[in-house]
Amino acid sequence: MGFDIHILGTSSARPTGLRQVSGSLVVCDDGVAIVDAGEGFQSRFAVQRRRMKQFSDSQIKVGRVDVLCLTHGHLDHTWGVLPWLHTLSLDKRDKPLLIIGPTSGEVLDSLLSNSKLPEGISNSDLIIQWRSWHQLGGTSKQLGFPVRWVLGDIENDRWVELMPDSNSVLELEKMPQPKGWSENKIKPLATNHTVPSCGWHFSSKGKKGKFDRLRAAELKLTETQRAGLAKGEDQTLADGKMLSASEFRGPDSGVLSVVLSGDTSEMSKGITSMENCNVLVHESTFLEEWSEHAKNYLHSTASGAARTALSSGAKHLVLTHFGARIKGTEDMLFQAKQQLVDSQVALSAASDGDRIQVSDSGKITHHYWGEEGWFN
């Protein structure tokens, strides 16, 4: 199925009359990943599930959610996490949940040495929030289902797991992947914001081409011969004719990848270090006339998001995370297009409820939400 990205909030900092704060879903063959969960996330998630049930052939099941990826600790990206966890508990969830987020190397050092947190740490650092959530019932024991709390120093690829039920910390060799995921991989990308932050990169392994069952049937092959060809094993017929397994497969689908930036200034090295990606969902908090604000608060303009897309090899840029001054997206799109005029990068702007689909073949479609369903 490739990837199906659901944008549940496109507002920066606070809700507006038109937009809610950050929260997205990435749906793939392995399951569902949540990226950020700001204020009111569970309500928006429920609404999107109802929309899918009413207007789509597919559904989003809460039981398929395996991982929550946080981009940083600002409340417009995290304030909906604990209420949602408690709802999962009320619904008698028993499936494990992985929660991952960024912090600083200094915080990791203090956790591993069982010492005080570093002086000057931001109140928005995830470690402070997570500890308060644990006190408010956010542990595996209190929730009634397994939760893994994993923090990482993204730039140095160092990871620890918090174990609040035993008040201990475990150093990990690498960032864990969601339990049971085999076809897709999640990777953090270092970004540049006022608190430890990262974007999240989702990639698929690619799939073998479709097996030509019709041709196999026309040749009246045995089940053993069909199975061998399907496995990639050449077969020799009774008359000595050789059948090449490669001739019974359509073209393989290439590796697919999508990136959700979280809050960051333009040209963050984690994102620009990529050689290519199918879709880049990038924050676009300010218009160009507010570029000084973007620099001061380490956010991006629409133009900056476009420059980042060019440097990352993105095929399609989706703008999101708009400041409260932004009423419509026409100016955002115009300014971004000025940077992309000589490129092949496609461009769109997200609204709450939109879906961006990447098919197995790599086709990208932005489905815009309307009151009577999605339209292209």
pLDDT in tens, 298-312: 999 999 999 999 999
Cβ contact 347:336 at 8 Å: yes
pLDDT in tens, 220-255: 999 999 999 988 999 998 888 999 988 888 876 679
| The pLDDT value given to residue 253 | 66
Q: What is the dihedral of CA 165, 169, 171, 176, to 10 degrees?
A: 30
More confident residue, 226 or 146: 146
How many separate domains does the chain show?
2
Task: Inform me whether the pLDDT recorded for 87 exceeds 90.
Answer: yes
Do 193 and 227 belong together in one domain?
A: no
Place 188 in a pLDDT band, splitting at 50, 70 and 90. very high
Do 217 and 142 belong together in one domain?
A: no
Give CA separation, 38 vs 154, 190, 199, 300, 342, in Å.
Answer: 22, 21, 16, 19, 36
How many C-beta atoms surround the C-beta of residue 170 within 10 A? 14
| The pLDDT value given to residue 208 | 74
CATH number of the domain enclosing 198: 3.60.15
With respect to residue 290, please indicate whether it lies within any of the assigned structural domains: no
With respect to residue 280, please indicate whether it lies within any of the assigned structural domains: no
More confident residue, 210 or 285: 285
Do 29 and 11 belong together in one domain?
A: yes
With respect to residue 310, please indicate whether it lies within any of the assigned structural domains: no
Do 93 and 236 belong together in one domain?
A: no
Do 102 and 183 belong together in one domain?
A: yes
Relative to beta strand 3-9, strand 355-358 is antiparallel
Cβ contact 185:203 at 8 Å: yes
Do 117 and 158 belong together in one domain?
A: yes
Predicted model pTM: 0.90
Q: Which domain holds residue 228?
A: 213-248
Do 226 and 153 belong together in one domain?
A: no
How many C-beta atoms surround the C-beta of residue 254 within 10 A? 13
Do 188 and 229 belong together in one domain?
A: no
Strands in 214-363 per DSSP E = 235-236, 242-243, 257-260, 277-283, 314-320, 346-349, 355-358
How many C-beta atoms surround the C-beta of residue 199 within 10 A? 29
Mean pLDDT is highest, among 212-221, 241-250, 338-347, for 338-347
The sign of the dihedral angle between the CA atoms of 324, 102, 153, 308 is negative
- CA 322/CA 351 separation, integer angstroms: 10
With respect to residue 315, please indicate whether it lies within any of the assigned structural domains: no
Do 369 and 224 belong together in one domain?
A: no
